[in-house]
C-alpha cells in the first residue's frame, strides 16, 4: 500500500510499514473528523492483491475527491490567486478547510455519530474581483461555478441616488406659483415691477400704482419660498440664508431680464422683480436731452447719473455706455450689483463684472480695474467712501468714469460726494472733485397724459464757473449757474418739467409733484404761485396723494 495521509501541519507523511499479505485484511484506520485522506488511485505494491486495497482503489471514490480539488482551484482563481502545485496536491491546513463530510462504512472509514446540525448564519461579504477589473465589494458569496463556466454576473444593486437639480436649490411642487407665467403676465400688462409676498396676491406696478393680478391666488409662505428657491443656485441660497438679503438677475427666455431683490418679512420670504429689457434703447428714444449724449464722447473725467429709486438711472446709463460702445474703439469695464443690461462687443471691447459673483465689492473691483487697461469704467453705484475715493482717482488719472447716486439734483449730488469724507479731508476732496467732475444728470419719472411715464431731467455741465463754485464750497449757487447755461445744454429739473407741461405730455398736477422749487415752476408754466403753494400744502397734509411711484430700471 502506497497511500499518503495528511498530518496536522499540512505536510504529507508516509504511513507505518504495510502489513504482509499473510496478516489478512488491514483494519480500517480511524480518522479524526478534521483529517481527510487525499484520494489517489491505488498503485501496485507488495499487497496489491489484498482485499484491503480495494476500497481506496475504487474508481467511484476518486470522482468526488477530484471534484472537490477542482472546486478548490476554481475558488482560488475566483479570489484572484493562481493555483499552485502545493494547492492542488495537498489539502489546506485543518484551520482553513471547510467542514468535512461524514465518513461512512462504504468509504472504508470507521463510522462516526452524525454531528448536530449547525445554525446557519448570514454569509459574510467578501471582496471579489471582476474579470480584468479591480477588486470590488461584492454581495454574499455564492456557490463556486465549475472550471470553464463563465462567472455569474454580480447581483443588480441599487443605482446611484438621484442628485439634486444642478444649479437649483429646491424643486417646485404642483400648485406652487408659476413664476415665469407671472412675469409674462406682468410684461403683457406693461408693468415695471412684480411684488411677491405671503398673504397677498402677486402685485404689479403700472403707471406708478400697484394693482393685484386677479387670476392668481393668495400666496402661501411655504409655497412662495419653494417657487423662489427654485430659481436660486446653491450658492445664492446659502448667501440669502446667511444675510437674509439677496440681489440677483433672472431671465425668462424670449421675454425679458429682471433685477430681483429677495428679503425676509415676518419670518417668510418676499421678492421684488424689476423688468430690464433685453434691448438697450438709444438715448434719443428715452426722452433725455441731446446734451446727455455728449458725455459718451468725453476723453476722461467723472459723470454722475442720479435720481430716486425707480427713476430710470440704469436705463439712461446703459444707453450712454452703449453709445460709447458703438462709436469708440476702447476697453469698457463695468462693475454692477447685479448685472442688469447685457452689452455685446461692438466697436469697443466690453467686460461686465458682477459683485458677489465676479468680484467681492465695488471698491475691490475698482482697485484692480486700473490695472486692466480700461478706457471707460462704469460703476453701478457709489455706496461708500472707499468706492467714491477710487472712482475719483480713476477719473483724475485719465479714465472716463460713469457712476450713479441716489440724489435729487446736481447741488445735492456734489455735497453728497464731499460729505462722505471726514471733515479734515473735505477741502482736498473739493479740489479733487472740481477738476475731475465733467457733468451730472439727475432724472425722475412723471405720469404721462394717456398713460405711461415721461422722463424729466436736470443736466449740469462742469464749466469753469461751476468748477470754481465747487472748489470754493458755494454749491448753493450752482442752481443759478445752470439756469444761465442753457446755451451750453444745461437746464434745471423745474425747467424740463415745465416744458413737459407746456407740451401737454404731463399734467400740471403731475409736474407739481416732481418739481424742486414751486415758485420757479409756477413762473415757468404761467401759473400763480398761490395755486401751487395751496396744492403743495394739500399734498403735504395727505402724503398718500403724492407719494412717489417710480418706474423703470
CATH code of the domain covering residue 349: 3.40.50.300
Examine the domain organization and report whether 304 and 383 are in the same domain. yes
The answer as to whether 33 is a domain residue is: no
Residue 330 and residue 297 share a domain: yes
Residue with the larger pLDDT of the pair 181 and 41: 181
**423 lies in a domain?**
yes
Number of domains in the chain: 2
71 confidence band (pLDDT: 50, 70, 90)? low
How sure is the predictor about 172, in pLDDT bands with cuts at 50, 70 and 90?
A: low
In a domain, 244, yes or no: yes
Residue range 10-33: average pLDDT? 47
Among 89-93, 240-244, 460-464, which is the least confidently predicted range? 89-93
Confidence of residue 451 (pLDDT cuts 50, 70, 90): confident
Indicate if the pLDDT at residue 12 is higher than 60.
no
Instruction: Say yes or no: 328 and 475 in one domain.
Output: yes
Answer yes or no: do 467 and 332 share one domain.
yes
* pLDDT band for position 102 (cuts 50, 70, 90): very low
At residue 407, the pLDDT reads 95
Q: Do residues 218 and 305 share a domain?
A: no
Taking only the tens place, the pLDDT of each residue in 266-290 is: 999 999 999 998 889 999 899 999 9
Higher-confidence residue of 86 and 412: namely 412
Rounded Cα distance between 127 and 477, Å, is 89
**Comparing 295 with 66, which gets the higher pLDDT?**
295
The pLDDT-based confidence of 509 (bands split at 50, 70, 90) is: very high
Angle at alpha carbon of residue 545, lines to 539 and 550, rounded to 5°? 110
- What CA–CA distance (Å, rounded) separates 429 from 210? 42
Q: Does position 376 have pLDDT exceeding 80, yes or no?
A: yes
- The yes-or-no verdict on residue 425 having pLDDT over 90 is yes
Does 367 reside within a domain?
yes
Instruction: Based on the fold, state whether residues 405 and 257 are members of the same structural domain.
Output: no
Task: Report which secondary-structure segment, H or E, holds 442.
Answer: strand 437-447
Whether residues 481 and 347 share a domain: the answer is yes
Among the candidates 228, 258, 276, a domain finishes at 276
Q: Would you state the pLDDT for residue 383?
A: 85
Cβ-based neighbour number of residue 316 at 10 Å: 25
What is the pLDDT, as a whole number, of residue 77? 52
> Are residues 290 and 266 both part of a single domain?
no
Residue 474 has a pLDDT of: 95
Tell me how far apart the alpha carbons of residues 252 and 534 are, in angstroms, rounded to a whole number.
47
Please classify residue 20 by burial: count the beta carbons closer than 10 Å to its beta carbon, then call 0-12 exposed, 13-18 middle and 19+ buried: exposed
What mean pLDDT, rounded, does the chain reach?
77
Co-location of 362 and 299 in the same domain: yes
Q: C-alpha distances in angstroms, 222 versus 12, 88, 213, 477?
A: 78, 70, 20, 55
Q: Are 378 and 333 in contact (CB under 8 A)?
A: yes
- Name the maximum alpha-carbon separation found in the chain: 154
C-alpha torsion angle, residues 209, 215, 219, 220 (rounded to 10) = 170
Structure pTM? 0.63
Asked whether residue 189 carries a pLDDT value surpassing 60, the answer given is yes
**Coil vs helix vs strand at 271:** strand
Q: Does any domain span residue 481? A: yes
Q: How high is the pLDDT of residue 494?
A: 96
Task: Return the pLDDT at 545.
Answer: 36
Q: Are 145 and 74 contacting, i.e. CB atoms less than 8 angstroms apart?
A: yes
How far are the Cα atoms of 161, 210, 512 from residue 532, in angstroms, in the given order? 71, 27, 7
Q: Any idea which residue has 480584468 for its cell?
A: 132
Where in the sequence is the domain holding 265, given as residue range(s)? 179-276
127 has a pLDDT exceeding 50: no
Least confident of 42-56, 195-209, 214-228, 435-449: 42-56
pLDDT at 278: 87
**C-alpha cell belonging to residue 212:** 393685484
User: Is the same domain home to 430 and 332?
Assistant: yes
**Higher pLDDT residue, 110 or 117?**
117
User: Average pLDDT, stretch 38-64?
Assistant: 45
Confirm whether 22 is domain-assigned: no
Give the residue from 457, 472, 491 where a domain finishes: 491
Would residue 460 count as lying in a domain? yes
**What is the CB neighbour count within 10 angstroms for residue 538?**
11
Q: Is residue 199 part of a domain?
A: yes
Among 57-61, 116-120, 504-508, the range with the most confident prediction by mean pLDDT is: 504-508
Question: Which pLDDT value is given to residue 538?
Answer: 44
Q: Is the pLDDT of residue 111 over 50?
A: no
- My answer on whether 313 and 461 are in the same domain is yes
Q: Quick check: 237 pLDDT over 60? A: yes
Per-residue confidence (pLDDT) for residue 356, from 0 to 100 = 85
CATH of the domain at 262: 3.30.450.90
What average pLDDT does range 375-399 have in this prediction? 93
Say whether both 202 and 317 belong to one domain: no
pLDDT per residue as tens digits for the range 470-503: 999 999 999 999 988 889 999 999 999 999 999 9
- Compute the average pLDDT of residues 280-303: 94
Amino acid at each position: 500500500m502506497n497511500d499518503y495521509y495528511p498530518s496536522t501541519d499540512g505536510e504529507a507523511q508516509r504511513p507505518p510499514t504495510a502489513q504482509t499479505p499473510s496478516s489478512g485484511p488491514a483494519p480500517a484506520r480511524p480518522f479524526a473528523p478534521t483529517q481527510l485522506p487525499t484520494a489517489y488511485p491505488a498503485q501496485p505494491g507488495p499487497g496489491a492483491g489484498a482485499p484491503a486495497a480495494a476500497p481506496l482503489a475504487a474508481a467511484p471514490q476518486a470522482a468526488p475527491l477530484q471534484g472537490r480539488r477542482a472546486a478548490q482551484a476554481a475558488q482560488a482563481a475566483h479570489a484572484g490567486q493562481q493555483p499552485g502545485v502545493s494547492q492542488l496536491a495537498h489539502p489546506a491546513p485543518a484551520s482553513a478547510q471547510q467542514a468535512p463530510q461524514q465518513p461512512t462504512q462504504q468509504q472504508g472509514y470507521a463510522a462516526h455519530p452524525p454531528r448536530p446540525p449547525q445554525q446557519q448564519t448570514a454569509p459574510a461579504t467578501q471582496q471579489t474581483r471582476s474579470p480584468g477589473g479591480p477588486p470590488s465589494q461584492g454581495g454574499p458569496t455564492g456557490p463556486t461555478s465549475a472550471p470553464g463556466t463563465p462567472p455569474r454576473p454580480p447581483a443588480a444593486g441599487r443605482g446611484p441616488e438621484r442628485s439634486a437639480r444642478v444649479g437649483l436649490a429646491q424643486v417646485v411642487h404642483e400648485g406652487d406659483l408659476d413664476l415665469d407665467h407671472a412675469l409674462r403676465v406682468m410684461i403683457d400688462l406693461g408693468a415695471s415691477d412684480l411684488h411677491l409676498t405671503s398673504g397677498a396676491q402677486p402685485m404689479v406696478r403700472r403707471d406708478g400704482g400697484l394693482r393685484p393680478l386677479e387670476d392668481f391666488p393668495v400666496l402661501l409662505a411655504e409655497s412662495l419660498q419653494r417657487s423662489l428657491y427654485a430659481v436660486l443656485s446653491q450658492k445664492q441660497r446659502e448667501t440669502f440664508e446667511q444675510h437674509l438679503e439677496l440681489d440677483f438677475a433672472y431671465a425668462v427666455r424670449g421675454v425679458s431680464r429682471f433685477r430681483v431683490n429677495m428679503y425676509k418679512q415676518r419670518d417668510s420670504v418676499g421678492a421684488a422683480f424689476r423688468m430690464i429689457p433685453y434691448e438697450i434703447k438709444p438715448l434719443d428714444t428715452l426722452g433725455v436731452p441731446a446734451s446727455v449724449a455728449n458725455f459718451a464722447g468725453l476723453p476722461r473725467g467723472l459723470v454722475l447719473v442720479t435720481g430716486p429709486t425707480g427713476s430710470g438711472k440704469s436705463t439712461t446709463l446703459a444707453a450712454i455706455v452703449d453709445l460709447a460702445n458703438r462709436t469708440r474703439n476702447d476697453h469698457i469695464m463695468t462693475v454692477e450689483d447685479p448685472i442688469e443690461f447685457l452689452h455685446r462687443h461692438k466697436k469697443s471691447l466690453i467686460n461686465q463684472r458682477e459683485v458677489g459673483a465676479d468680484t467681492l465689492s465695488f471698491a475691490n473691483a475698482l482697485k484692480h480695474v486700473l490695472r486692466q487697461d480700461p478706457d471707460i469704467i462704469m460703476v453701478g453705484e457709489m455706496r461708500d467712501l472707499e468706492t467714491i475715493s477710487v472712482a475719483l482717482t480713476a477719473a483724475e488719472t485719465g479714465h472716463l468714469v460713469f457712476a450713479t447716486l441716489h440724489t435729487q439734483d446736481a447741488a445735492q449730488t456734489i455735497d453728497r460726494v464731499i460729505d462722505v469724507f471726514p471733515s479734515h479731508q473735505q477741502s482736498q476732496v473739493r479740489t479733487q472733485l472740481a477738476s475731475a467732475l465733467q457733468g451730472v444728470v439727475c432724472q425722475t419719472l412723471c405720469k404721462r397724459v394717456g398713460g405711461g411715464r415721461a422722463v424729466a431731467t436736470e443736466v449740469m455741465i462742469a464749466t469753469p464757473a461751476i468748477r470754481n463754485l465747487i472748489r470754493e464750497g458755494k454749491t448753493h449757487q450752482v442752481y443759478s449757474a445752470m439756469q444761465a447755461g442753457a446755451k451750453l445744454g444745461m437746464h434745471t429739473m423745474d425747467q424740463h418739467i415745465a416744458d413737459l407741461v407746456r407740451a401737454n405730455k404731463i399734467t400740471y398736477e403731475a409736474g407739481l409733484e416732481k418739481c424742486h422749487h414751486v415758485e420757479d415752476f409756477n413762473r415757468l408754466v404761467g401759473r400763480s404761485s398761490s395755486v401751487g403753494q395751496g396744492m403743495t400744502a394739500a399734498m403735504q397734509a395727505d402724503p398718500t396723494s403724492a407719494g412717489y411711484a417710480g418706474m423703470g430700471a
